[in-house]
Each structure stands twice: as structure tokens, then as C-alpha cells.
Amino acid sequence: MIRSLLVPAKRPSAVTLRDNREIAQMREAGRIVARVHQAMREYVRSGVTTAELDAVAVDIIRSHDATPTFLGYHGFPASICTSLNDEIVHGIPCPQQVLTEGDIISIDVGVTYQGWVGDSGWTYAVGEISDDARCLLETAEGALWAGIDVMHAGNRLGDYSAVVQSYVEERGFEVIREYTGHGVGREMHEPPEVLNYGDPGTGIRFRPGLTLALEPMVTTGHWLTKADDDGWTVRTSDGALSAHFEHSIVVTSGAPQILTLL
């Protein structure tokens, strides 16, 4: 079985609700994550290696007295995940992996700050990309925002799952089913598991203080996946392009709040 940053072997069983003080601390971790993504928008270009992106991320994270959550997590060997083209998640930055015009790259960033985790992923275009790739990115990002709009107290987890699945499939794409979103807080992976497909009206009911990492993973092909020999990199089984967008959010008594923004 592949080791997974998204679905670890063990996780606590109970859903934890956070108070205002804890949410404020999570927001600080999330802001550092957002600063890393702000830098990625500048550095993602043709000719840059994924190892260079990892180094930039580490510098930013360390400069804020934080630590890269992914580094060493279940043995993961890098500080961010860089997943290129048909790679879905968990790609390992490498000095030999050079970005080229037309690529798309998903960069997943986890930061631990004063004991709290921020987690966000984004897929970037390298220069000019194909119309199909552009539509994929727009759909995957749109699915994230559509899902966030559902995160109101009283709604259910299945409402989120169904909205994401419908948004993606109505546009001719598929959601990856073997990897999911998750709760986030003191640990990077906490309950509940957050599927990107499912039936409305099912699952736990959202309550204020629930903190989740929402992350639709979308492909132009079939949702089946395969793992590389490195034991980490997950890609589409048919070689189709994949995109991944993620924010950490908190359910409130009003509108949901995004924790991984500046």
C-alpha cells in the first residue's frame, strides 16, 4: 500500500471543534502557507527545477520560525509536494525535474507554527498551457470554491462532496476518488475524511469550530490512480492531466472562513 500524506495509516477517531483562540493560531500558520504560495506564483516558470521551489519554500517557512509539516512525515523526504502534469499528489521535488513551457504543477504546502498546522495546495500553469489544461485548472479551482460555499453550519459533509462531484462532472472531468481531504488542526490529518464525491444529506453535520482541509483533485481522464516506485508519487493511471486545489477552512455561525489566505 502506498504511503500517503492525505490518508495516513492511523488518525484519531473523534472530530474536534476549535475555539476562537485556537482558530486564530491556525490562521497564523495558514498565513505562512499563503506566503509560500505567493512566492510560488513568482518562481514557477520554465527552466526552474522542483528542488529550487522546495528550497524557496523552506526559506520562507523557516524565516517565520515555523517548520515544514511534510518533511519527514511518514518518511516523506521533502518540504513541499510538487506534482507535475499527470501526477496527482505527493510528487517529490527533484534537482533533475525541470519545468517546461506548457506544464502544470500542483504545489502542496504544509506549515506547522506554534503547534498548529496550515495546509493548502494550488496548481500553477508554466507559461502558456493548452486549452484543455486551462479548462482543467478552472474546473478544479471552481470546484473548491463551490465546495467552500456549502460549508455552513447545519449542512452535511455529503452536501460538500456532492457539490464538488457535480461541479466537476458537469464540465466533463472526473474527481479522484482514492485520495481525500481531511480535518486539520494540531495534526495535519484529523477526522473527518472529506470525500470529493458522494450523496447530499449524508455524513456529519457541520458545526462552528470545525476545521477542514478541502482539496478537490480533478483529472481530464479516468479517476483511477497508480503509484510510482518511489513509494510516494501518485499519478493518473491513464496518463491524463490532473489538478489539485486546497484551502484550510473553518465553519462558523455565519459564512465559512478561509484560514490559508494572507
- Cα(198)–Cα(202) distance, integer angstroms: 8
Query: In the predicted model, is pLDDT for residue 1 greater than 90?
Result: no
pLDDT score at 13? 64
Report which residue type is found at 29: A
CA proximity to 70, closest of 110, 40, 41: 110
pLDDT score at 5? 53
143 vs 54, 106, 170, 171, CA distance in Å? 27, 16, 11, 10
- The cell for 126 is 508554466
Query: In the predicted model, is pLDDT for residue 207 greater than 90?
Result: yes
User: Per-residue pLDDT averaged across 194-210, rounded?
Assistant: 98
pLDDT score at 8? 41
Report which residue type is found at 133: A
- Cα(262)–Cα(250) distance, integer angstroms: 15
63 vs 5, 23, 66, 230, CA distance in Å? 24, 22, 7, 30
For all residues of the chain together, what is the average pLDDT?
95
Q: Treating both helix axes as pointing N-terminal to C-terminal, what angle do 157-169 and 131-148 enclose, rounded to 10 degrees?
A: 160
User: Per-residue pLDDT averaged across 41-46, rounded?
Assistant: 98
Per the confidence metrics, is the pTM higher than 0.85?
Answer: yes
pLDDT per residue as tens digits for the range 212-232 = 999 999 999 999 999 999 999
The Cβ of residue 254 has, within 10 Å, a number of other Cβ atoms equal to 9
User: Per-residue pLDDT averaged across 179-187, rounded?
Assistant: 98
Query: With contact defined as beta carbons under 8 Å apart, do 227 and 179 qualify?
Result: no
Q: In which band, very low, low, confident or very high, does the pLDDT at 11 lie, cut at 50, 70 and 90? A: very low
Higher pLDDT, 7 or 15: 15
pLDDT per residue as tens digits for the range 129-148 = 999 999 999 999 999 999 99
Listed in sequence order, the residues at least 6 apart from 220 whose beta carbon sits closer than 8 Å to its beta carbon are 132, 136, 173, 240, 241, 242
User: Per-residue pLDDT averaged across 35-41, rounded?
Assistant: 98
Q: In which band, very low, low, confident or very high, does the pLDDT at 10 lie, cut at 50, 70 and 90? A: very low
- Cα(171)–Cα(167) distance, integer angstroms: 7
For the chain, list the domains and their CATH numbers: 20-258 (3.90.230.10)
pLDDT score at 9? 36
Expressed in angstroms, the distance from the first to the final Cα of the chain is 37
User: Per-residue pLDDT averaged across 147-170, rounded?
Assistant: 98
pLDDT per residue as tens digits for the range 60-114 = 999 999 999 999 999 999 999 999 999 999 999 999 999 999 999 999 999 999 9
Query: In the predicted model, is pLDDT for residue 258 greater than 60?
Result: yes
